[in-house]
Amino acid sequence: MIVDVHAHLDHPDIEKRIDEVILNAKNAGVKLIVTNGINHATNVKSLLLSKKYDIIKCALGFYPQDALKKEVGSGEYPLALAEEHIDDEINFIEKHKNDIIAIGEVGLDYQNGHDKETQKDAFLKIINLAKTLDKPLIIHSRKAEEDVITMLEENHAKKVVLHCFCGKKSLVARASKNGWSFSVPTNIVRAENFQLLVKEVPLSQLLTETDAPYLSPFKEKKNEPAFIVETIKKIAEIKQMETEEVENILYMNFQRLFL
Protein backbone atom coordinates (compact mmCIF):
# COMPACT_ATOMS: atom_id res chain seq x y z
CA MET A 1 0.00 0.00 0.00
CA ILE A 2 2.23 2.76 -1.29
CA VAL A 3 1.12 6.40 -1.53
CA ASP A 4 2.56 9.37 -3.37
CA VAL A 5 1.16 12.41 -1.54
CA HIS A 6 2.67 15.01 -3.83
CA ALA A 7 3.03 14.77 -7.61
CA HIS A 8 2.30 16.99 -10.61
CA LEU A 9 0.63 14.57 -13.01
CA ASP A 10 -0.67 17.43 -15.15
CA HIS A 11 2.93 18.34 -16.02
CA PRO A 12 3.45 17.79 -19.78
CA ASP A 13 6.41 15.44 -19.10
CA ILE A 14 4.01 13.10 -17.30
CA GLU A 15 0.70 13.83 -18.94
CA LYS A 16 1.98 12.83 -22.38
CA ARG A 17 2.66 9.29 -21.05
CA ILE A 18 0.08 9.18 -18.28
CA ASP A 19 -1.25 5.68 -19.00
CA GLU A 20 2.24 4.20 -18.86
CA VAL A 21 3.03 6.15 -15.65
CA ILE A 22 -0.12 4.83 -13.99
CA LEU A 23 0.55 1.26 -15.10
CA ASN A 24 4.12 1.49 -13.73
CA ALA A 25 2.73 2.83 -10.45
CA LYS A 26 0.21 0.01 -10.12
CA ASN A 27 2.86 -2.59 -10.92
CA ALA A 28 5.08 -1.11 -8.20
CA GLY A 29 2.29 -1.43 -5.63
CA VAL A 30 1.25 2.23 -5.54
CA LYS A 31 -2.27 2.53 -4.19
CA LEU A 32 -2.88 6.27 -4.43
CA ILE A 33 -1.30 9.31 -6.04
CA VAL A 34 -2.24 12.79 -4.88
CA THR A 35 -1.78 15.17 -7.78
CA ASN A 36 -1.36 18.80 -6.74
CA GLY A 37 -2.49 21.93 -8.56
CA ILE A 38 -0.47 25.13 -8.45
CA ASN A 39 -2.76 27.63 -10.20
CA HIS A 40 -6.19 27.68 -11.81
CA ALA A 41 -5.27 25.84 -15.00
CA THR A 42 -3.44 23.04 -13.17
CA ASN A 43 -6.23 22.82 -10.58
CA VAL A 44 -8.72 22.20 -13.37
CA LYS A 45 -6.46 19.57 -14.93
CA SER A 46 -5.87 17.89 -11.58
CA LEU A 47 -9.61 17.56 -10.99
CA LEU A 48 -10.08 16.02 -14.44
CA LEU A 49 -7.27 13.53 -13.89
CA SER A 50 -8.75 12.45 -10.54
CA LYS A 51 -12.13 11.89 -12.20
CA LYS A 52 -10.61 9.85 -14.99
CA TYR A 53 -8.32 7.55 -12.97
CA ASP A 54 -9.25 5.77 -9.72
CA ILE A 55 -5.68 5.77 -8.45
CA ILE A 56 -5.45 9.58 -8.63
CA LYS A 57 -6.75 11.83 -5.85
CA CYS A 58 -6.82 15.56 -6.14
CA ALA A 59 -5.33 18.41 -4.11
CA LEU A 60 -6.12 21.95 -5.23
CA GLY A 61 -3.64 24.71 -4.53
CA PHE A 62 -2.26 28.13 -5.15
CA TYR A 63 1.52 28.38 -5.51
CA PRO A 64 3.19 31.72 -4.71
CA GLN A 65 2.44 33.67 -7.88
CA ASP A 66 5.71 35.56 -8.25
CA ALA A 67 7.74 32.38 -7.72
CA LEU A 68 5.62 30.54 -10.27
CA LYS A 69 6.18 33.30 -12.82
CA LYS A 70 9.92 32.87 -12.43
CA GLU A 71 9.79 29.08 -12.67
CA VAL A 72 7.59 29.18 -15.76
CA GLY A 73 9.91 31.81 -17.25
CA SER A 74 12.91 29.54 -16.76
CA GLY A 75 11.12 26.71 -18.59
CA GLU A 76 10.85 24.55 -15.49
CA TYR A 77 7.07 24.29 -15.69
CA PRO A 78 5.61 24.91 -19.14
CA LEU A 79 2.37 26.80 -18.47
CA ALA A 80 0.44 29.70 -19.92
CA LEU A 81 0.14 32.08 -16.98
CA ALA A 82 -2.63 34.55 -16.29
CA GLU A 83 -2.91 37.05 -13.46
CA GLU A 84 -4.85 35.26 -10.75
CA HIS A 85 -6.44 36.34 -7.52
CA ILE A 86 -6.41 34.19 -4.41
CA ASP A 87 -10.07 34.92 -3.58
CA ASP A 88 -11.22 33.50 -6.93
CA GLU A 89 -9.23 30.33 -6.38
CA ILE A 90 -10.53 29.96 -2.84
CA ASN A 91 -14.07 30.10 -4.22
CA PHE A 92 -13.13 27.47 -6.78
CA ILE A 93 -11.62 25.18 -4.13
CA GLU A 94 -14.66 25.58 -1.88
CA LYS A 95 -16.91 24.64 -4.78
CA HIS A 96 -14.91 21.44 -5.26
CA LYS A 97 -14.43 20.56 -1.60
CA ASN A 98 -16.02 17.14 -2.08
CA ASP A 99 -13.69 16.28 -4.95
CA ILE A 100 -10.43 16.82 -3.08
CA ILE A 101 -8.51 15.16 -0.26
CA ALA A 102 -6.10 18.00 0.47
CA ILE A 103 -5.15 21.59 -0.24
CA GLY A 104 -1.84 21.90 -2.08
CA GLU A 105 0.50 22.93 -3.37
CA VAL A 106 0.51 26.08 -1.26
CA GLY A 107 3.00 28.02 0.83
CA LEU A 108 5.79 30.56 0.61
CA ASP A 109 8.84 30.81 -1.66
CA TYR A 110 11.45 33.47 -0.98
CA GLN A 111 13.97 32.00 -3.39
CA ASN A 112 12.02 32.47 -6.61
CA GLY A 113 9.58 35.07 -5.31
CA HIS A 114 10.16 38.28 -3.38
CA ASP A 115 6.73 39.75 -2.71
CA LYS A 116 6.54 38.39 0.82
CA GLU A 117 3.45 40.34 1.83
CA THR A 118 1.31 39.15 -1.09
CA GLN A 119 2.52 35.59 -0.56
CA LYS A 120 1.68 35.73 3.14
CA ASP A 121 -1.77 37.23 2.50
CA ALA A 122 -2.64 34.36 0.19
CA PHE A 123 -1.14 31.74 2.50
CA LEU A 124 -3.11 33.02 5.49
CA LYS A 125 -6.36 32.76 3.55
CA ILE A 126 -5.43 29.23 2.51
CA ILE A 127 -4.60 28.15 6.07
CA ASN A 128 -8.02 29.35 7.15
CA LEU A 129 -9.69 27.61 4.22
CA ALA A 130 -8.02 24.32 5.15
CA LYS A 131 -9.29 24.67 8.71
CA THR A 132 -12.83 25.41 7.54
CA LEU A 133 -12.83 22.47 5.14
CA ASP A 134 -10.92 20.24 7.58
CA LYS A 135 -8.40 19.19 4.89
CA PRO A 136 -4.65 18.68 5.19
CA LEU A 137 -2.35 21.35 3.78
CA ILE A 138 0.50 20.25 1.48
CA ILE A 139 3.07 22.96 1.92
CA HIS A 140 5.95 24.36 -0.08
CA SER A 141 8.42 26.38 2.00
CA ARG A 142 11.50 27.17 -0.09
CA LYS A 143 13.85 29.50 1.80
CA ALA A 144 10.80 30.52 3.86
CA GLU A 145 10.68 27.66 6.34
CA GLU A 146 10.60 29.74 9.49
CA ASP A 147 7.82 32.06 8.26
CA VAL A 148 5.79 29.06 7.15
CA ILE A 149 6.08 27.42 10.56
CA THR A 150 5.30 30.64 12.42
CA MET A 151 2.19 31.31 10.34
CA LEU A 152 0.93 27.76 10.81
CA GLU A 153 1.52 27.97 14.55
CA GLU A 154 -0.12 31.38 14.93
CA ASN A 155 -3.18 30.19 13.06
CA HIS A 156 -3.41 26.84 14.82
CA ALA A 157 -3.15 24.66 11.74
CA LYS A 158 -3.26 20.99 12.68
CA LYS A 159 -3.33 18.91 9.49
CA VAL A 160 0.03 19.90 8.07
CA VAL A 161 2.26 18.15 5.53
CA LEU A 162 5.59 19.84 4.92
CA HIS A 163 6.57 18.79 1.42
CA CYS A 164 10.26 18.51 0.56
CA PHE A 165 11.20 20.38 3.74
CA CYS A 166 14.74 21.80 3.63
CA GLY A 167 14.74 23.84 6.84
CA LYS A 168 17.52 23.54 9.36
CA LYS A 169 17.56 20.93 12.12
CA SER A 170 15.97 23.18 14.76
CA LEU A 171 13.03 23.90 12.45
CA VAL A 172 12.58 20.20 11.70
CA ALA A 173 12.44 19.64 15.46
CA ARG A 174 9.97 22.49 15.95
CA ALA A 175 7.59 21.23 13.24
CA SER A 176 7.96 17.69 14.48
CA LYS A 177 7.09 18.75 18.03
CA ASN A 178 3.95 20.37 16.64
CA GLY A 179 2.89 16.93 15.45
CA TRP A 180 3.05 17.83 11.76
CA SER A 181 4.04 15.45 8.98
CA PHE A 182 6.90 15.56 6.49
CA SER A 183 6.60 14.07 3.02
CA VAL A 184 9.95 12.64 2.03
CA PRO A 185 10.88 13.02 -1.64
CA THR A 186 12.41 10.27 -3.79
CA ASN A 187 15.76 12.04 -4.15
CA ILE A 188 16.42 11.00 -0.54
CA VAL A 189 18.50 8.23 -2.12
CA ARG A 190 21.28 10.81 -2.53
CA ALA A 191 20.13 13.92 -0.60
CA GLU A 192 21.70 13.80 2.85
CA ASN A 193 19.43 16.48 4.31
CA PHE A 194 16.40 14.21 3.81
CA GLN A 195 18.28 11.22 5.21
CA LEU A 196 18.98 13.28 8.32
CA LEU A 197 15.34 14.40 8.48
CA VAL A 198 14.19 10.77 8.41
CA LYS A 199 16.60 9.98 11.22
CA GLU A 200 15.28 12.83 13.38
CA VAL A 201 11.51 12.56 12.81
CA PRO A 202 9.40 9.70 14.22
CA LEU A 203 8.20 7.29 11.53
CA SER A 204 4.60 8.07 12.53
CA GLN A 205 5.09 11.60 11.11
CA LEU A 206 6.55 10.61 7.74
CA LEU A 207 4.86 10.31 4.35
CA THR A 208 6.23 9.67 0.86
CA GLU A 209 6.14 11.82 -2.27
CA THR A 210 7.78 12.12 -5.67
CA ASP A 211 7.11 15.74 -6.67
CA ALA A 212 7.12 14.07 -10.10
CA PRO A 213 8.41 14.88 -12.67
CA TYR A 214 11.01 16.52 -10.38
CA LEU A 215 13.33 15.08 -7.69
CA SER A 216 13.93 11.71 -9.36
CA PRO A 217 15.97 9.09 -7.52
CA PHE A 218 17.54 8.25 -10.90
CA LYS A 219 19.63 10.95 -12.54
CA GLU A 220 18.82 9.77 -16.06
CA LYS A 221 15.04 9.42 -15.59
CA LYS A 222 12.17 11.83 -14.97
CA ASN A 223 10.48 11.06 -11.70
CA GLU A 224 7.20 9.10 -11.48
CA PRO A 225 5.11 7.62 -8.65
CA ALA A 226 6.45 4.06 -9.16
CA PHE A 227 9.80 5.25 -7.80
CA ILE A 228 8.39 5.72 -4.27
CA VAL A 229 9.64 2.18 -3.58
CA GLU A 230 13.17 3.65 -3.53
CA THR A 231 12.17 6.04 -0.73
CA ILE A 232 10.63 3.25 1.31
CA LYS A 233 13.81 1.18 0.96
CA LYS A 234 15.88 4.12 2.15
CA ILE A 235 13.60 4.92 5.10
CA ALA A 236 13.68 1.24 6.14
CA GLU A 237 17.48 1.27 5.96
CA ILE A 238 17.72 4.43 8.11
CA LYS A 239 15.14 3.30 10.65
CA GLN A 240 16.58 -0.25 10.62
CA MET A 241 13.23 -1.86 9.93
CA GLU A 242 11.74 -4.21 7.34
CA THR A 243 10.48 -2.45 4.21
CA GLU A 244 7.09 -4.10 4.55
CA GLU A 245 6.64 -2.79 8.07
CA VAL A 246 7.68 0.71 7.00
CA GLU A 247 5.26 0.56 4.07
CA ASN A 248 2.38 -0.39 6.37
CA ILE A 249 3.13 2.35 8.89
CA LEU A 250 3.45 4.98 6.16
CA TYR A 251 0.09 3.92 4.78
CA MET A 252 -1.51 4.22 8.21
CA ASN A 253 0.00 7.71 8.53
CA PHE A 254 -1.61 8.67 5.24
CA GLN A 255 -4.99 7.26 6.26
CA ARG A 256 -4.96 9.05 9.60
CA LEU A 257 -4.31 12.43 8.03
CA PHE A 258 -6.07 12.31 4.66
CA LEU A 259 -9.00 9.93 4.86
Which residues here bind Zn ion, judged by CB under 5 A?
105, 211
What is the spatial distance between Cα 191 and Cα 8, in angstroms, rounded to a whole number?
21
Residue whose CB is less far from Zn ion, 164 or 206? 164
In DSSP notation, 164-209 reads: T----HHHHHHHHHTT-EEEEEGGGGT-HHHHHHHHHS-GGGEEEE
Whole-number minimum distance, CB 237 to Zn ion, in Å?
A: 25
Work out the number of other CB atoms within 10 angstroms of the CB of residue 7: 27
Residue whose CB is less far from Zn ion, 89 or 105? 105
Whole-number minimum distance, CB 138 to Zn ion, in Å?
A: 8
Residue whose CB is less far from Zn ion, 10 or 247? 10
Residue whose CB is less far from Zn ion, 35 or 253? 35
Residue whose CB is less far from Zn ion, 46 or 253? 46
Closest CA to 4 of 257, 241, 224, 242: 224
What is the spatial distance between Cα 199 and Cα 7, in angstroms, rounded to a whole number?
24
Work out the number of other CB atoms within 10 angstroms of the CB of residue 99: 14
Whole-number minimum distance, CB 250 to Zn ion, in Å?
A: 19
Cβ proximity of 159 and 130 under 8 Å: yes
Residue nearest to Zn ion (CB): 211
Residue whose CB is less far from Zn ion, 10 or 105? 105
Whole-number minimum distance, CB 1 to Zn ion, in Å?
A: 23
Whole-number minimum distance, CB 61 to Zn ion, in Å?
A: 9
Whole-number minimum distance, CB 247 to Zn ion, in Å?
A: 23
Residue whose CB is less far from Zn ion, 211 or 247? 211
How does DSSP classify residue 251? H
Dihedral sign for Cα atoms in the order 207, 212, 214, 219: positive
Phi-psi region of 202 (alpha: psi -120 to 50; beta: other; left: phi over 0): beta
Cβ proximity of 103 and 138 under 8 Å: yes
Whole-number minimum distance, CB 164 to Zn ion, in Å?
A: 7
> What Rg, from alpha-carbon coordinates, does the chain have?
17
